[in-house]
Structure 1
Amino acid sequence: MVKFTYYGHACFLLENDHCKILTDPFLTGNPLAAIAPDIVEADYILLSHAHSDHLGDAPEIAKRTEATVVGIPEVLAVCTERMDDIKTHPMNIGGSCKTSFGKLRMTLAIHSSGVAGGIACGYVIKIDGMHIYFAGDTALFQGMQVIGQKESIDYAVLPIGDNYTMGLEDAALAAQWLNTRNVIPIHYNTWPIIEQDVDKYKELTERLTRATVHIVKPGESLRLA
């Protein structure tokens, strides 16, 4: 059984009996952070890009926990400039790798990267027989249809905050294109500029798609099945 725990913004933890996978650990300075960076645990840290509200505390958490940080090479270089003795695994768009929990595939995201030469990305995470799509910060793009065709997406973790990423309508269409069974919305309400009515998103998405939308507040967990 995989448990999803939301720590706020784009940071969440996926864990089973053997592994903990942390995403975009922006905890210091995050007004909605549900855990402190000095106690969060991780075996892997997945980075979508190098903006400070995503790369966050990744190098320091990796140093303390001995987690492997996964990301685009230019993004990982930002991490190793801060902590030069951490474990990293560089990837690029379209690549995949086997892991202790299953498999990772790096996907395209349409967004700026926060570092020269870098690009933003997302991930399809295969764990315990499920495919979980972490979109990262992204606009709606037609490649989401390919992602949904290549793997049967069980859970899509999608940004809905608008202004910097997809808003409600585009994120609902993303769920449709992905043909996902479930959606977990993230990246909203951290600041006024990305405030959104998540209940409206749930109603819109469930009306337009086959997906069930799970609203998980910071600090809450959801068992994935």
Structure 2
Amino acid sequence: MTKPQTTTGYFLRGDVEVEPLVDRWYAWVHLVSPATAAFVTMERHLRMMESYVRSPAMHAAAAANPATRSGPFLDLGGAKVAEVQALLDATRTKAKRQQDFVAAFGELDTLLESMTGGALEPLYPSVPAALQGLVELEYDRHNRARCRLYERLLYADALADPSGQCLRLVRTDRDGDRPFAFSTPRLPVVEDPDDADGAAWEGAVELDVPFATPALDTLFRARTEAVDPDELADELGLDAGARSRFRELFTTTPPRTPGERADSRPGRGQVRVTYFGHACVLVEDDEVSILVDPVLPYDHASDVPRRSFADLPDRIDYVLITHAHHDHVLPETLLQIRHKVGTVIVPGNDGGGLMDPSLRLVVEHLGFPDVREVRELDVTNLPNGAITAIPFVGEHHDLAIRSKSTYHVRLGGLTALFGADTANVNPALYDRVHDLVGDVDLLFLGMECEGAPASWVYAPYFAHPLDRDHDQSRRGRASTCDEALDVVERFRSSAVYVYAMGEEPWLYPLLGIPYTDDSLAIREAKRLVETCREQGRHSERLYGAKRWSVS
């Protein structure tokens, strides 16, 4: 059969949103890592779906309330009960391996709690079958028995099943036009345009391929480089029914003219800084480009200033990930920039902690070939500078989370500290760090100084639920104004920038934070900016997009 002639020279539209899914749920770090995915599925997804089937009206009311939108409530308007029941039944059937894994952890916890200091070797035959060969038993220095996962083996186990991975592509005309990412499953695309859910996703295309599929690089390269959509559909294995919808995701109009795009290096001796929203910052000189915590918007018409995928350089030499929270390491963005990234630098951990999955393994599983782990004060040398991993304090609920790092970047004559959501609860640390890296020209900080309780992310993994008072007191917060000022003064920063902390509309589906001018984080951020300006420092709250050059 002769293949029909097609026209080449098509670009993936800038308003095409991409949702990576795992078993119909929005993909984030803890759904990519096999161990945490098992707990999230059993202790969160199944429970939410069961609750929705029992009380859809309650979920609809809670999801419509900004104060509770980011809670465990399916945002389906009280409809789609039969479809949720079908997904619930399918998940129960498929998740047998995950169910056994979670149950085995409970059995092993009970076994280890009985140990008071005696040898652990005799326990290995009693390790539940689902964990046999996957754990090492050990004591901590307080003689409390615990287990350590051989995490890389889990990626070779049946627990790591990529068959549930897919990507949903759809054109939308505004930011935040989707349910809260982590509490609503994405039901299969409905072909009937008269159906309420089908209308919301009219034109959606699902790519039933694992995240590491190389053809995705061709797809997302088409944001700025022309492709033939029909050849790409062949490469992605799309059936005949999806091909017409797939072609509608492309246009013959290039996303930017060459003069508008950021694909040229800064002039020699210059450093260019571009803010893409939230905590995402690009730093470039004439030789190196560094992108921190990539979370990027799409090209939707809006009053909010923005720079999107089309504004990235053709080559990103280094991507720096500060920590594993979903607004700082986002598979949705990472998969779309994979084709242009050289090295991804991630904070390493001691390995094997259930609540602290290896970011290196997660990012490798997303298809990145060069992922480098760093620990405190590790240095990555650059042609005209260096990247130094700096300890990340706070924001992690006093849990033993090691996969976190801030970064000191020296590029040419410029120094910058990307502080992410660090909480300056241990000021003496920064005395020692300053002794090693010196003063900092640009300081970037998040100031969500209230934060979510420990249970918001980590509840599925606790062997015993936290006492409510303890849960509320152990919030994942960043620095207050006074704590941030202490950092500013210790590093003698000449310019201080506060991240938007989720205020941009494209962050709403990820964070769901209903900020007002009276919110504590906003008040503290304003006070920091005002105080820094009074001290003669340049300071501002970033929002949306900004670009500037430093000679």
Classify the TM-score, shorter chain. 0.7 to 0.9
Match of 1:145 among 424, 431, 435: 431
* 2:446 is equivalent to residue 159 of structure 1: yes
Amino acid corresponding to residue 219 of structure 1 in structure 2: A
Amino acid corresponding to residue 122 of structure 1 in structure 2: T
| Contact 1:20/1:44 (<8 A) preserved | yes
Alignment of 1:64-75 (within 5 A): 64-73=339-348, 74-75=358-359
**How much does 1:168 deviate?**
2.6
1:22 match: 291
Match of 1:171 among 459, 484, 491: 484
| Contact 1:27/1:33 (<8 A) preserved | no
1:203 match: 530
2:543 match: 217
Q: Deviations over 1:35-77 (max 9, x none)?
A: 3347633221000011110011464245210321011232222
| Contact 1:26/1:56 (<8 A) preserved | yes
SS at structure 1 position matched to 2:489: helix
> Take 1:133 and 1:222, find their aligned partners in 2: how far apart are those partners?
17
Structure (1/2) with the larger helix percentage: 2
**How much does 1:79 deviate?**
0.9
| Contact 1:3/1:224 (<8 A) preserved | yes
SS at structure 1 position matched to 2:377: coil
1:105 match: 388
| Contact 1:159/1:167 (<8 A) preserved | no
| Contact 2:500/2:543 (<8 A) preserved | no
1:88 match: 371
Query: How many pairs align?
Result: 221
Moved more, 64-73 or 6-15: 64-73
2:455 match: none
Judged with a 3 Å threshold, the aligned counterparts in structure 2 of structure 1 residues 170 and 33 are, in CA distance, closer, same or farther, namely farther
| Contact 2:280/2:292 (<8 A) preserved | yes
| Contact 1:108/1:121 (<8 A) preserved | yes
> Take 1:17 and 1:210, find their aligned partners in 2: how far apart are those partners?
30
* Percent identity over paired residues: 18
Moved more, 125-134 or 95-104: 95-104
2:150 match: none
> Unmatched 5+ residue regions in structure 1?
none
Q: Deviations over 1:87-115 (max 9, x none)?
A: 222211121121244211100011339x9
| Contact 2:529/2:539 (<8 A) preserved | yes
> Take 1:145 and 1:189, find their aligned partners in 2: how far apart are those partners?
30
> Take 1:87 and 1:35, find their aligned partners in 2: how far apart are those partners?
26
1:2 match: 271
Amino acid corresponding to residue 130 of structure 1 in structure 2: L
2:403 match: 119
Judged with a 3 Å threshold, the aligned counterparts in structure 2 of structure 1 residues 33 and 162 are, in CA distance, closer, same or farther, namely farther
SS at structure 2 position matched to 1:3: strand
> Unmatched 5+ residue regions in structure 2?
1-269, 349-357, 451-476, 504-512
> Take 1:107 and 1:52, find their aligned partners in 2: how far apart are those partners?
20
| TM-score for both structures, normalised by structure 1 | 0.84
SS at structure 2 position matched to 1:192: coil
> Take 2:484 and 2:533, find their aligned partners in 1: how far apart are those partners?
12
Judged with a 3 Å threshold, the aligned counterparts in structure 2 of structure 1 residues 2 and 216 are, in CA distance, closer, same or farther, namely farther
> Take 1:64 and 1:199, find their aligned partners in 2: how far apart are those partners?
38
